Structure 1
Amino acid sequence: MKKYKCGPRFKALLKEVKITPSEFATFCNVEPQHINNWYIRGVPYPRVEEIARLLSVNSQWLINGEGPKHPVIGQAPEQPDKPLDTQESREHYHVCVDSPDIELPLYKELPKALGSSDTHIVKIPDEAVRLPRHYLESLEVDPIHAICVPMVGDSMSEKIQDGSTLAIDRSLTHIIDGQIYALQHDGMLRIKYLHRLHDGALRLRSHNSSGYPDEIFSAEQIKKQNIGVLGWVFWWCTLNKQRPPVPFA
């Protein structure tokens, strides 16, 4: 996978034009800490064109240091590259030109074959979930690493209802105790609170703990049962399942 690192170039540009992180943050309507994070992680991909335009540089140069640094007078505006290709289920996202939204690919757990009980998690063609760009930016989630999945079952109710749509940051697989993660468990999609235990063991906890007791897997069981962390769940949306009946007047 090609590494996306423009932080050092971005930092050097602000220094070159004598703009402080706080001043640039105010100009871009973000927190100063975001600018400092961009120094390390790079400018979020959806904002590269905007930032490059503000600093009068070519976006491709800002992204990867390739090509001319500054636009040539009379040059047509650059067309951004296709979103960076990524491994596994880290797929392309789409920035909606006329809105501040980003479309993220949708994945579901489906049978491997018709009538089979074995499942796997696959991308659903031509289906996407649209989220406001500022949601992702406020949590420093790079859209390149974000996907959406449905919640199946009531193990996380009342917090996350069956049928809810969830968004996952695939880049955050390091387990922070008590956070909600999406797991792949021998082909099954599972949403759980995770807790690390001694010797590489893992505790899976449901929000609906009365109906779903804790599960503990040793390091050996994790390997044998193909348990892997897909990513951190950073957003979910739930519709009320039933409209209340309105009495006759």
Structure 2
Amino acid sequence: MENLVLEMKQETGTHPSVERLLEASGLNQEETAKLLDESPQTITNWKKRGISKAGALKAAGKFNVSANWILKGEGGKPDSTISKVEEWDSSTPVDDDEVEIPFYKDVLISCGSGSLTEILGNETRKLRLSKSTLRQYGVESSNAYALTAFGDSMTPIINNGATVYVDVGKTDIIDGKIYAITHGGLFKFKYLYRMPKGAVRIVSANKDEYPEEILTVEDMIDQEFEVVAYAFNVQNPLP
């Protein structure tokens, strides 16, 4: 087994545990590092010597796979929870471990300059979401919604056309998390950070084209800023 692992490592130049990590995330090295709150250099180091146990545990919770599978390839890769999300109609039975959540597919939640729209009151489709996924993220089913993102300000974390799963029950800002916000009547997904004296810092993943903003309490009132929901998962379209 050790010889096999060594051969794989020599063939690809990447430790097998990191190959499994990137397979589990479905993202590239930089995007995976960001989701794990690690630097890209950390993953570069892991590629040489293997992912750390702490890193594997963190990835296991983030990507819903077993830490042992990431570390050793043992036990088989569990199905990704995101694969349990699918569109359904009234004739499709809902399994015991599934719930129906509103899917605002045609509502423009902008990841760029924003789009004037009203979320509430629009006719919605439905998605099926496993109860285990909601439990994993601590989301009440009544607070779960799916929204479609447009624009490139949050690329590569949230790409144009992505389905983003949000929790409208969590609007208190945790630094560095992604939220659906309304700002001057425009709906967007952004990283948020708390600032002194009640101010908020608004950051895009695509910082080159979308500079960050800092709003004071007065700015938030004047510009009608509001945190709408916490984004807890995303399903990006394939390129």
The TM-score, its normalising length taken from structure 1, stands at 0.52
2:217 is aligned to 219
1:142 is aligned to 140
Gaps of 5+ in 2: 1-92, 110-114
**Structure 2 matches for 1:88-237, cutoff 5 A?**
97-98=94-95, 100-107=97-104, 108-109=107-108, 118-237=116-235
Amino acid at match of 1:106: F
Aligned-partner Cα distance in 1 for 2:170–2:124:
26
- Shift of residue 240 of structure 1? 1.1
- Shift of residue 204 of structure 1? 0.5
Contact 2:183–2:223 (CA under 8 A) maintained in structure 1: yes
Deviations 1:100-140, CA, capped at 9 Å, x for gaps = 22221123249xxxxxx843323542412222221101111
1:39 is aligned to none
Aligned-partner Cα distance in 2 for 1:206–1:118:
19
- Whose helix fraction is larger, Structure 1's or Structure 2's? 2
Percent identity between the aligned chains?
34
Q: 1:203 to 1:213 in 2, by over 3 A?
A: same
Aligned-partner Cα distance in 2 for 1:234–1:123:
23
Contact 2:116–2:187 (CA under 8 A) maintained in structure 1: no
Q: How many residues align?
A: 141
The TM-score, its normalising length taken from structure 2, stands at 0.54
Contact 1:109–1:122 (CA under 8 A) maintained in structure 2: no
Deviations 1:138-167, CA, capped at 9 Å, x for gaps = 111101111111111101101110110111
The structure 1 segments of at least 4 consecutive aligned residues displaced by more than 4 Å after TM superposition are none
Contact 2:108–2:150 (CA under 8 A) maintained in structure 1: no
Aligned-partner Cα distance in 2 for 1:172–1:145:
9
Amino acid at match of 2:102: P
Contact 1:121–1:187 (CA under 8 A) maintained in structure 2: no
Q: 1:98 to 1:118 in 2, by over 3 A?
A: closer
Q: 1:154 to 1:234 in 2, by over 3 A?
A: same
Larger radius of gyration: 1
Deviations 1:59-81, CA, capped at 9 Å, x for gaps = xxxxxxxxxxxxxxxxxxxxxxx
- Shift of residue 213 of structure 1? 1.1
1:73 is aligned to none
Aligned-partner Cα distance in 1 for 2:124–2:175:
35
Q: Which has the higher contact order (CA 8 A, sep 6+)?
A: 2
Computed over aligned residues only, the root mean square deviation of the Cα atoms, in angstroms, reads 2.1
SS for the counterpart of 1:125 is coil
